[in-house]
Amino acid sequence: MILEVDYYYKLSTPGATDGAFRTWVDNVVNADLASGMTRDAGSTAKIDYVMSPFDGLDSYGLQISIAVWIDD
């Protein structure tokens, strides 16, 4: 079984709620944090989250294949 997992992550202005995190599994919304704070106030980080192909792997069992394509 091959699942298509898509991520969208937008880093917020530090302390503001202008960031976003969304995921889809086989084109079905899995998580949707719109207008969220993805970077703490005072943070100077350029990256606050690293996406992993293993995120949620235990939710779908061990009989799946994962392929990763990354774009900015």
pLDDT in tens, 11-70: 889 999 999 988 888 889 988 988 988 888 998 887 756 666 556 555 666 666 666 666
Please name which of 41, 42, 51 lies closest in space to residue 10, comparing C-alpha atoms.
51
Please name which of 47, 49, 39, 35 lies closest in space to residue 15, comparing C-alpha atoms.
39
Q: Which residues pair with 9 in a beta bridge?
A: 21
How far, in whole angstroms, is CA 1 from its chain's centroid?
A: 21
